[in-house]
Amino acid sequence: MKTAVAELAVLGGPPAFAEPLHVGRPNVGDREAILTGIGEALDERWLSNNGSKLEAFERRLSERLGGMHVVATCNATLGLQIAMRALGIQGEVVLPALTFVATAHAVAWEGLTPVFADVEPETLCLGATEAETRIGPETGALLGVHLWGRSGDVEGLSALARERGLPLLFDAAHTLGCERDGRPLAAFGDAAVLSFHATKIANSFEGGAIVTGDRELAERAATMRNFGFVDEDEIVGLGTNAKLSEAGAAMGLASLEAMDGFLAASRRNYAAYGEALAGIPGLTLLPFDPPESSNCHYVVVDVDADAGLDRDQLRAVLVAENVLARRYFYPGCHRVPPYDRRPQLPLPVTEHVLARCLSLPTGTAVTPADAAAVGDLIRLALYQPDAVCGALGE
Ligand SMILES: *Cc1c(COP(=O)(O)O)cnc(C)c1O
């Protein structure tokens, strides 16, 4: 063991990290490329509405996604809303409660009713078995979530959707750089929505993208993104404003150019965490589908009762050390307003995950040495649970 027990901050030592390590610190591509791109938009005096940066961003993203149609949006939440509208979804939408609240809010904001299903214990994603239990006469669509970039049961959900004649949409916010059987994860379903929010593996400051193999669906979505305009003064229906700015698109483009470096950094950190956390009783680093087909952008540990400290105690120790671990996506969509006021069916796997999982810092702002040091801290804290609990006042 590298560090002495007395060095834990909760036991009176200084914090292990002088500067905080954050979860979701933005990955930033080549600064020159970003500033040049924004400068070109200024020179062109074209700041939004299908400028050269947006076109280039959509083209590059489409290439990355094997030629899928891509409609970039100002964020993924509006991307999800537009995708649901363009698919003509009505009534209830079956989705997992184990997701960021945006997934449920997008459904509800469209006047649809979110119906929460449990996730599969193996994949932590919505599976066909769980989804089927929530399908009723009012069901209008299935909305899967590729939690932490995991593919889940895409085949089962696709078969179920086909059998029941329901559209299948995926919240693919976490999936850029993830593949399933050599195919980009965002290519599954009738449509999928990526996020380019600052905390995601690649960002456009704020941003999102609707991804689909259906050209007409993409055209409807692109029209809805711009107030329903199809021409200079022709409006064909209800639309909103969900356009991505040229500055955002320039940032997104630079992020796509830098993706190899972002992927390498997160995969290296994931491997370093794996080594540092190996063999700790009660602590499991969540495995990915083959790591080489995952972006490894979320490093999540499951803290079992046997670990000595519970998840929240471990988090308190890490925060004292300036390791700002997060409880993604606690407390779960079903436990926050307005959804908590509705009767809910039990979600045992979801509750289990929400009570035990902790996301650790990674990304290009974190080095493998940092990850190894965080692993050592976790080992140290769990090695002295009584002392730590005393210091935490428990
Ligand atoms: C980040 C995120 C969103 C929302 O993305 P925005 O681009 O911020 O709107 C939706 N779903 C999940 C699972 C997310 O993590």
CA-197 nearest atom, ligand 1: 7
3-class secondary-structure state, position 267: helix
Q: What is the mean pLDDT of residues 318-327?
A: 97
Close Cβ partners of 155 (under 8 Å, ≥ 6 residues apart): none
Q: Which two three-digit tokens encode residue 359?
A: 């996301």
196 CA closest ligand 1 atom index: 7
> Quick one: which atom of ligand 1 is closest to the CA of 77?
9
Give the Å distance between the CA of 176 and the centre of ligand 1: 12
Report the nearest atom of ligand 1 relative to the CA of 75. 7
Centre of ligand 1 to C-alpha 78, Å, is 10
Q: Whose CA is nearest to atom 8 of ligand 1?
A: 197
Q: Given strand 113-117, what is the order of strands in its sheet?
A: 69-73, 208-212, 191-195, 168-171, 139-145, 92-96, 113-117
In angstroms, the CA 242 to CA 164 distance is 31
Going from N- to C-terminal start, the domains of the chain cover: 5-26+259-325+361-391, 31-257
**Structure letter (DSSP) for residue 226:** B
Cα-to-centroid distance, 354 and ligand 1 (Å): 18
Q: Which atom, in ligand 1's list, is nearest to the CA of 102?
A: 10
Rg for the chain (alpha carbons), in Å?
22
Distance 106 CA to ligand 1 centre (A): 10
146 Cα to the center of ligand 1, angstroms: 11
Residue 394: predicted pLDDT = 79
What's the pLDDT score for residue 2?
A: 47
Spacing, Cα 76 to ligand 1 middle (Å): 6
CATH of domain 31-257: 3.40.640.10
State the Cα–Cα distance between residues 369 and 380, nearest whole angstrom. Answer: 16
CATH C-level class of 5-26+259-325+361-391: alpha beta
Closest ligand 1 atom to the C-alpha of 195?
7
- 259-278 pLDDT tens trace: 999 999 999 999 999 999 99
Centre of ligand 1 to C-alpha 110, Å, is 16
**What is the average per-residue pLDDT within 21-32?**
97
The answer to whether 297 and 177 have CB atoms below 8 angstroms apart is yes
Q: Which atom belonging to ligand 1 lies closest to the Cα atom of 206?
A: 7
Residues 6+ apart with CB under 8 A from 390: none
Q: What is the pLDDT of residue 4?
A: 47
Estimate the share of the chain in helix, then strand, then coil, as percent rounded to the nearest 5. 45, 15, 40
In this structure, the number of other CB atoms found within 10 A of the CB of residue 284 comes to 15
Say if CB 92 and CB 112 are below 8 A apart: yes
CB 74 within 8 A of CB 204: no
pLDDT digits (tens, 9 = 90+) for 137-167: 999 999 999 999 999 999 999 999 999 999 9
C-alpha of residue 63 to centroid of ligand 1, in Å: 22
Q: Measure the CA–CA gap between 191 and 171, rounded to whole angstroms.
A: 9
Residues with Cβ within 6 A of ligand 1?
75-77, 99-100, 102-103, 145, 171, 173-174, 195, 197, 208
For residue 321, pLDDT over 80 is answered with yes
Q: pLDDT-derived band of residue 6, with 50, 70 and 90 as boundaries? A: low
- The secondary element (H helix, E strand) that includes residue 386 is helix 385-391
Least confident of 8-12, 202-206, 335-339: 8-12
pLDDT digits (tens, 9 = 90+) for 108-130: 999 999 999 999 999 999 999 99
pTM of the model: 0.97
CA 18 – ligand 1 centroid, Å: 30
DSSP string for residues in 113-164? EEEEE---TTTSS--HHHHHHT--TTEEEEEEE-GGG---SHHHHHHHHHHH
Looking from the CA of residue 199, the nearest atom of ligand 1 is 1
Distance between CA atoms of residues 145 and 23, nearest Å: 20
Name the residue among 389, 62, 121 with its Cα closest to residue 252: 62
What does the pLDDT look like over 331-359, one tens digit per residue?
A: 999 999 999 998 889 999 999 999 999 99
pLDDT at 3: 47
Ligand 1 pocket test, candidate residues 71, 73, 100, 240, most atoms within 8 A of CB:
100
pLDDT of residue 49: 95
Per-residue CA distances from 125 to 98, 119, 265 (Å): 8, 5, 25
Our mutation pick for probing the ligand 1 site, out of 171, 194, 204, 300, counting the most ligand atoms within 8 A of Cβ, is 171
Substitution candidate for ligand 1 out of 93, 169, 197 with most atoms within 8 A of CB? 197
H/E element, 220: helix 215-225
pLDDT surpasses 90 at 393 = no
Nearest CA-CA partner of 102 in 131, 145, 135, 142:
145
Q: Which residue has the higher pLDDT, 291 or 244?
A: 244
How far away, in angstroms, is 217 Cα from ligand 1 center? 21
Atom number, ligand 1, closest to the C-alpha of residue 207: 7
Residue 53 Cα to ligand 1 middle (Å) = 23
Q: How far apart are CA 75 and CA 269, in angstroms?
A: 27
